[in-house]
Chains A and B, each alone.
Chain A
Amino acid sequence: DIQMTQSPSSLSTSVGDRVTITCRASESIRNYLNWYQQRPGKAPNLLIYAASSLQSGVPSRFSGSGSGTDFTLTISSLQPEDFATYYCHQSYRTPNTFGQGTRLE
Chain B
Amino acid sequence: QVHLVQSGTEVKKPGASVKVSCKASGYSFTNFYIHWLRQAPGQGLEWMGIVNPSGGSTKYAQRLQGRVTMTRDTSTNTVSVELRSLRSEDMAMYYCVRDIGYGYGAFDYWGQGTLVIVSS
Which A residues fall within an 8 A CB radius of B? 32, 34, 36, 43-46, 49-50, 53, 55, 87, 89, 91-92, 94-101
Contact = CB atoms under 8 A, between A and B. Distances in A.
Interface of B: 35, 44-47, 50, 59, 61-62, 95, 100, 104-108, 110-113
B89 to A, nearest CB: 17
B105 A95 contact: no
A49 B44 contact: no
A6 to B, nearest CB: 9
Contact of B59 (A50, A55, A89, A94): A94
Contact of B104 (A91, A95, A99): A91
A86 to B, nearest CB: 11
B112 A97 contact: no
B47 A96 contact: yes
B47 to A, nearest CB: 4
B47 A46 contact: no
Query: Which 4 A-B pairs have CB atoms at the shortest separation, nearest pair first?
Result: A91-B105, A49-B106, A43-B110, A34-B106
